[in-house]
Every structure is written in C-alpha cells, then in structure tokens.
Copies of this chain bind each other. A is one copy, B any other.
Amino acid sequence: MDVKTCCLGLLCFRDACGYDLKKEFERLFKHFYPAGCGSIYPALANLAEQGLISCQEVPQDGRPDRKVYRITEAGRKSFKAALANASPQHKLRSEFLAMVYFADLMCPDQLKRLLEERRLDLLDAVTNIAQIERSWGPDTPAGARFVAGFGSAMARTAADYIAANQNLLLDRQKASVPSDDTTSGKLSAKLEQRA
C-alpha cells in the first residue's frame, strides 16, 4: 500500500485533481500516512498511464489547467485487489523516542523542552482531528471516523503518558517504575483550554 494506491483509493470516493489529494493528505492522512507533492503527482501520472484513472483538463485563467482525475472500472477493480493483498503494516519511526532513550546523555534543559514540545504537538494533533471531525456530515464513511478516533486516542494517550512520566527522566536521583495511569483524564485538561 503505497502513496499511489492511496490516491487510487481516494479517487474511489470522488473525482479530484492532484492538489485536492495533496490537501487530503495534509488533513487527516498526515496523522498516519504522510505524503507530499513529490509523491502524489508522479503517482497520478503513473496511474493515468496504466489506465486506472482518466484525466480531464479543465482550463483556468491565471493558473495551470486543473487536471481532474476520475477512477476507471479497471482502477476500481485494481484498488480492491490491492486492498485484498496489502500487508497491514503499521510502522513507527520515532526520532523522538530514540532521543528519549538516550535521555541520560542529554542536558536536562533540552530534554525538558523536547518533552514539552512533543506534548504540545500531540495536543495540537488532538485539536486538529477534532476540528476535522466537526467538519464532517452524516455521510462520512465509517472508516474515516474510525481512523480519526484512533489518531485522537493515540495522541491523547501519548500526551498523558509524557505528562505522567516525565519526572522519571527529569528527576535523575530516584529511579521509579513508569506509571500506566492514563485513566486519570486530569492530564488532558489542557485540552479544553486549547480547543
């Protein structure tokens, strides 16, 4: 399941130009499957070449022609086959966690900033997803809702974990065991202030 296949999938729902897809990738998809111009445009060109999507150029004034892509029957079939064969990987590459692993070798100030910035980023992600969810009508597919909720839950847990356990890294004298207390909810309180 590469960017190309994701584009094909999005085109199953509605016609779109490359820019539209780019926006889609920058909205919800960025939380679990980021992609930029450099991946999307070549992907569309390739899909069109294979006959999986068709293209209609809409002239515009003051801008490049808008190339509106539409999935073909072959494309729809190909996407369903891809879905059936895809291996459902879930890969995390976190330089943040790698850095934290080496916390003992970092200066405390930097470490503190690192944790705080990440926590705020996570809270931003929650707010961002909530905003996306609010923009949805009743016709929004269940898959989108599920994925959004998933991302939101993950980000909240991560933010709470950092808040609850940063002392483990910051207070270097006492060694304690990480807390699992993500049930308190108190720690997400900042959420309401930011939302």
A contact residues vs B (CB 8 Å cutoff): 1, 6, 9, 12, 29, 31-34, 79-80, 83-84, 86-107, 110, 114, 117-118, 121, 138, 141-154, 156-158, 161-162, 165, 168-169, 172, 175, 177-180, 182-183, 185
Most buried by B among A9, A162, A179: A9
> Known: A9-B102, A114-B88. Is A161-B180 also a contact (CB below 8 A)?
no
- A84 partner residues in chain B, CB cutoff 8 A: 106-107, 110
With A and B bound together, what is the CA distance between A172 and B87 in angstroms?
24
Chain B residue with minimal CB distance to A117? B88
A104 cross-chain contacts in B, Cβ below 8 A = 141-143
Q: Which of A32, A144, A165 has the most CB of B within 10 A?
A: A32
Name the CB-closest residue of B to A162. Answer: B150
Closest B residue to A35 by beta carbon equals: B93
Q: Please measure, in the bound complex, the distance between the C-alpha atom of A14 and the C-alpha atom of B14, giving whole angstroms.
A: 55
Q: How far is the CB of A8 from chain B (nearest CB, A)?
A: 10
Q: Which residues of B lie under 8 Å from residue A158 when comparing CB positions?
A: 150, 153-154
**A103 close to B142 (CB less than 8 A):** yes
- A95 & B105 in contact (Cβ 8 Å cutoff): no
Check if A143 sits within 8 Å of B183, measured CB to CB: no
| Complex contact B146–A94 (CB within 8 A) | no
**Given known A-B contacts A33-B94, A138-B175, A103 and B143 have beta carbons under 8 A apart:** yes
